[in-house]
C-alpha cells in the first residue's frame, strides 16, 4: 500500500534558488512539450506518445543548456504530467478539460523528483539539492518512490514523500454501523443522534481577511510593501485551511476507528455550489474533502464506506414507517411529525437513520 508523508522543509538561500530554477524549468518543459503535441496534431492529425516526448528531452537540453542545471527526473515528471493530462481529457471529456499552458505568475511552484531520495533524523536528501533541514513530525515507513517539493503562497516550503510497501496496522473490529447526514448548520449528524457543529472557520476569520485584502489592494504594484501585505494575506488563508483540515481529519479518524460500516450520502457538490445563496457556506464545509478522507482511511484500515445514491429521499421519508412527506422539501422545516405513524422527527437525525438503513440494504444486496 502507498502512503504520502508531508513535511515542512527549511532550505538555505542556494537551495531556494535552485528550487525556483527547477520549478521554472519544469513549467517551461511542460509548455514546450504541450506546444509540440498540439502542433503535431494540427499538421499530421496525430499526436506524440508519452515515450516519444521523453525522448525529446535530450534535444531540448541541447537547445536550452540551462535545463541541465536542474534534476532530470523533475523534467521527466513534467513530460509525464502532459501525457497524463492528454489521456484524462480523451478518456472523459466531461470531467477533464484540455491541457492548458502554465502561467509564470499563476502556476503552482512545485516539482517532482524520483531518484536519490533519502531521509535521516531531521534531514531530507533530494537530487541536486543535497540535504535539507526538515520538521519530521512522524517516522517514515516503506520505500520512497518520489518527492514533491512545493512552495506555498505563504512562503513556506514543503516536501511530500510518496512511499510504497507501507504496513498500515489494522484497527480492531467494533461491529458497529453508522449513518451520517452532512449539512451546513450542523456539519454532520449521525444516526445515533450526535450532532457535530460546523466550525465555520472562514466566517471567524473573515474580518481579518478583508482587512488584509484591503491592505494589499492599497499598496503599489510590484513593491516590497505589497509583497509583505500579500504574505500576511496568504498566511491568514493558510491558517483557515489548516483549521479546516485539522477538524476534518480528527472527525474522519474518530468515525473510522469506532465504526466498521459508515454510510454517507453521495452528494452532488458541483451542483450544490450553483446555489447562489448557499454556495459560500457549502464551499466552506469541504464536504468533498471529508468524503475523500473517509474513503482512503476506510480502505487503509479495512472498514467499509457505503455511498447512498444522491436521489434517495433521506430527509422526506419516515425512518419508522417509510412514509414520504413531500412538505419536508422546504429546508426551513427542521422538525416534523409523520402523518402516518405520528412519530416526531428531527430532520437531520431522521435523514441519518434513513441513510444508515439504505446503506445496510445496499451492503446486504451486494453480498
Residues labelled catalytic: 181, 265, 348
Query: Exposed, middle or buried by CB within 10 Å (0-12, 13-18, 19+), for 171?
Result: middle
Amino acid at each position: 500500500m502507498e502512503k504520502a508523508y508531508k513535511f515542512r522543509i527549511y532550505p538555505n538561500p542556494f537551495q531556494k534558488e535552485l528550487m525556483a530554477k527547477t520549478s521554472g524549468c519544469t513549467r517551461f518543459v511542460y509548455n514546450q512539450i504541450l506546444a509540440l503535441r498540439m502542433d503535431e496534431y494540427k499538421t499530421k492529425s496525430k499526436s506524440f506518445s508519452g515515450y516519444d516526448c521523453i525522448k525529446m528531452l535530450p534535444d531540448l537540453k541541447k537547445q536550452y543548456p540551462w535545463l541541465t542545471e536542474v534534476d532530470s527526473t523533475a523534467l521527466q515528471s513534467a513530460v509525464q504530467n502532459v501525457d497524463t493530462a492528454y489521456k484524462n481529457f480523451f478518456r472523459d471529456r466531461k470531467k477533464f478539460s484540455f491541457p492548458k499552458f502554465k502561467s509564470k505568475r499563476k502556476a503552482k511552484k512545485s516539482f517532482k523528483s524520483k531518484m536519490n531520495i533519502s531521509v535521516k533524523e531531521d534531514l531530507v536528501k533530494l537530487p541536486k539539492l543535497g540535504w535539507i533541514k526538515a520538521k519530521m513530525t512522524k517516522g517514515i515507513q516503506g520505500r520512497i518512490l518520489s518527492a514533491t517539493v512545493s512552495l506555498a503562497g505563504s512562503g513556506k516550503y514543503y516536501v511530500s514523500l510518496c512511499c510504497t510497501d507501507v504496513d498500515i496496522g489494522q484497527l480492531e473490529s467494533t461491529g458497529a454501523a453508522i449513518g451520517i447526514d452532512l449539512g451546513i448548520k450542523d456539519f454532520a449528524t449521525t444516526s445515533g443522534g450526535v450532532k457535530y457543529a460546523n466550525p465555520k472557520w472562514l466566517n471567524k476569520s473573515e474580518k481579518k481577511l478583508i482587512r488584509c485584502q484591503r491592505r494589499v489592494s492599497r499598496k503599489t504594484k510590484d513593491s516590497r510593501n505589497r509583497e509583505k501585505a500579500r504574505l500576511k494575506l496568504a498566511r491568514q488563508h493558510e491558517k483557515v485551511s489548516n483549521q479546516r483540515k485539522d477538524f476534518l481529519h480528527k472527525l474522519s479518524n474518530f468515525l473510522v476507528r469506532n465504526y466498521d460500516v459508515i454510510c454517507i450520502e453521495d452528494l452532488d457538490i458541483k451542483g450544490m455550489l450553483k446555489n447562489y445563496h448557499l454556495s459560500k457556506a457549502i464551499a466552506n464545509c469541504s464536504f468533498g474533502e471529508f468524503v475523500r478522507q473517509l474513503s482512503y482511511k476506510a480502505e487503509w484500515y479495512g472498514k467499509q464506506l457505503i455511498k447512498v445514491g444522491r436521489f434517495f429521499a433521506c430527509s422526506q421519508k419516515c425512518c419508522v414507517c417509510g412514509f414520504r412527506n413531500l412538505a419536508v422539501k422546504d429546508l426551513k422545516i427542521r422538525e416534523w411529525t409523520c402523518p402516518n405513524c405520528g412519530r416526531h422527527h428531527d430532520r437531520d437525525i431522521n435523514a441519518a437513520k434513513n441513510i444508515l438503513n439504505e446503506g445496510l440494504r445496499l451492503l446486504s444486496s451486494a453480498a
